[in-house]
Chains A and B, each alone.
Chain A
Amino acid sequence: MTPANNSFDQQHYYALLEELQAIDFVLVELNLYLDTHPTDANAIEQFNQLTQKRWSLANEYEALYGPLQNFGRSYSGFPWQWNEEPWPWQV
């Protein structure tokens, strides 16, 4: 479903993006923490759980709104979705 001109559910769109952003931030924090605490099993387990959750979130987003990344890091629907609106600076 291609988001033509605001014909898609914006509220859900932004909610998904914000949750993805929050999970990514936590993953950054945990990653930096684990660099200096390589033996912290709980943190590693949390990191792996969040990584899995992040993938499912990203897949859900991409199924609805098109690719998050390009050059083979995301799938595209038909027709080509990468250069469709909204662009990152429009979001």
Chain B
Amino acid sequence: MQSQTRVYFPYVGPFDPCPPKRVKTYQVPPELFITFQPANLPQYSPSEALRLGTLWPALFSPYNPAADRAGGLG
């Protein structure tokens, strides 16, 4: 499953007031790629759904900015 994090590289100018952030990340959760949710998708169990924040694995989006930022040399 392709990671849901994408990376971009902001412009770093000579007059930047603060130390530059060379790599920034943004999330592309699955709902961006599903126009209309199909019926009868597989589901998590109630306790799992509560913990993961969604009832359907197809829509699960692991949002972990710290790890992404570290991974993205942010």
A26 to B39, Cβ gap below 8 A?
Answer: no
Rounded to whole angstroms, the CA-CA distance of A33 and B34 in the bound complex is 14
- Size band of the interface chain A makes with B: 10 to 19
Distance from B57 Cβ to chain A, minimum over Cβ atoms (Å): 13
For chain B, the count of residues having a C-beta within 8 Å of the partner chain is: 11
Rounded to whole angstroms, the CA-CA distance of A23 and B48 in the bound complex is 11
**Interface hub of A18, A26, A43 (most chain B Cβ within 10 A):** A26
Contact status of A23 and B39, CB under 8 A, knowing A29-B55, A30-B55:
no
B39 to A29, Cβ gap below 8 A?
Answer: no
Which A residues are CB-close (under 8 A) to B39?
37, 40, 42-43
Residues of B in contact with A (beta carbons under 8 Å apart) = 36-37, 39-40, 46-47, 49-50, 54-56
List 25 A-B pairs, Cβ < 8 Å. Answer: A18-B50, A19-B46, A21-B50, A22-B47, A22-B49, A23-B46, A25-B46, A25-B49, A25-B50, A26-B46, A26-B49, A26-B50, A26-B55, A29-B49, A29-B56, A30-B55, A33-B37, A33-B55, A36-B36, A36-B37, A37-B37, A40-B39, A42-B39, A42-B40, A43-B39
